[in-house]
Amino acid sequence: MRKYVLFLTLLLLASCSGAKGPESAAPAQGQRLRFAVMPKALEIPVFNYAKIGAERQAKEYGNVDILWNAPVTADQLKQKELLESYITQRVDGIAISALNGDFLTETINKAVDAGIPVVTWDSDAPKSKRVAFYGVDDFASGRIMGEETGRLLNGKGKVAIITSYGATNLQRRLDGIKEGLGKFPGLEIVEVFDIKEDSVRCAELIATGTKRYPDLAAWLSTGGWPIFTRNATTAIDPAKTKMISFDTIQPGLDLLREGKVTVLIGQKYFGWGSEAVKLLYDLKHGKNPPATIIDSGVDVVTKENVEDYAAKWKKMESGG
């Protein structure tokens, strides 16, 4: 019996010892600010540029610490747990790319109610009380992708789409793509593949999908999985099938130069981090964002403008 009593006592101590009530979220004079910046998952390569952007902005301010963290893989529950832990830790601000906006809405609201400003970037939680969202207008960019595909294929042919169900931004891109493609009655969507945010699964799906639909005119992807690795697109014969994808990180640009990919839609990767930190910093200093939805715009990269784009990228990556 004694060991049960001991266990319960220590458990109680572990959970409640030294409890302090929450204090004001306003920064004291000269105090450093701790901003939690959270991508959807650490394994997704584009988010590393957001980290560079956030850290560069923090360095510029001089009194900001960035807590960069996320689940390793796209695990919504772990992202929610992490978000909740940042609330109990009383960080000074949270910038998050939501894996599932609806799932996080209640928790984001809890943070805002506790006096912690929350901004979203890349993937929004539109029903929540987040102060602002910075990222692309996903529906519009998806529509651009669909229309561009229609033009490239002269309005006819079979297309397959790669996406990952669950994330609000990807769903909106998918809806936009469908609307863009819908303007060309000769285009047929043969399948929408769910790759569950997994680049390895993406390579496998492209290979099996290409075998299953040998007359496919184009692959469209709402995320950058096909271009995150050089091998994902090897099953595609570029003379027969075009690849049009979101994201412009390497080796995507090389694949574009080699003709394996036809069009890439680039987002403001560095801006995800730097702009989100700016928004939080301004909020902590009483300055409200210019709008609730801040459209970052997109870069449409093709073989014609890839070198200009690569030069700009290099400058940003080195902190310029």
Partner 1 sequence: MKKIWQIREFSTVVILVLEILFFTWWLWPDGNRSHPFLNAGNGVLILKYSAIYGIAAVGAAIVIISGGIDLAPGAVIALAGVVAAQLYVVQGWALGSSMTVGVLVGLASGLLTAALVVIVKLPPFIATLGVMGITRGIAFIITEGQYFDVSSRLLGGWRPFGLPADWVAPIIMVTLAIVFQILMTAFQWGRAVFAVGGNETAALFSGIAVNRVKTSVYVISGVLAAVSGVVLVLVQGQGKADLATGYELDIIASSVVGGASLAGGRGSVIGAVLGTLIFGVLRNALPQIPGATFYDRLIVGLVVIVIVVVDQLLLKKRG
Residue 157 Cβ, how far from partner 1 at the closest point, in Å? 26
> Which range binds partner 1 by CB under 8 A, 84-92, 135-143, 235-243, 244-252?
84-92
Residue 66, interface with partner 1 (CB under 8 A)? Answer: yes
Among 19, 285, 286, 318, binds partner 1 (CB under 8 A): 19
Site for partner 1 in 106-165 (CB under 8 A): 106, 165
Residue 26 as a binder of partner 1 (CB under 8 A): the answer is: no
190 in Cβ contact with 208 (< 8 Å): no
DSSP tag of 63: S
Is 56 one of the binding residues for partner 1 (CB under 8 A)? no
Q: How many residues bind partner 1 (CB under 8 A)?
A: 54
Strand order in the sheet with 64-68: 64-68, 33-38, 93-96, 118-121, 132-135, 293-295
For 177, the token pair is: 């793509």
Please give the biggest Cα pair distance in the chain: 79
Radius of gyration of the chain (CA): 22
Using CB under 8 A as the criterion, what x/- string covers residues 198-217 for binding partner 1?
A: --------------------
- Residue owning tokens 């809405």: 105
In whole angstroms, how close is the CB of 165 to partner 1 at the nearest point? Answer: 4
- Among residues 26, 31, 291, 297, which is the contact residue for partner 1, using CB under 8 A? 31
13 near partner 1, rule: CB under 8 A: yes
Cis peptide upstream of residue 251 (ω within 30 degrees of 0): yes
Count the alpha carbons within 13 Å of 293 in the hemisphere toward its beta carbon: 11
Please pick, from the candidates 15, 62, 304, 311, the single residue that binds partner 1 as defined by CB under 8 A: 15
The rounded Cα 282 to chain-centroid distance in angstroms is 22
194 near partner 1, rule: CB under 8 A = yes
Helices (H) and strands (E) in the chain, counts: 11, 12
C-alpha 113/C-alpha 63 separation (Å) is 25
Tell which one of 102, 113, 188, 317 touches partner 1 (CB under 8 A): 102
* Residues in CB range of 62: below 8 A, 6 or more apart: none
| Given 63, 85, 208, 231, the residue binding partner 1 (CB under 8 A) | 85
Binding site for partner 1 (CB under 8 A): 2-4, 6-8, 10-11, 13-23, 28, 31-32, 34, 42, 65-69, 72-73, 75-78, 80-82, 84-91, 100, 102-103, 106, 165-166, 194, 196
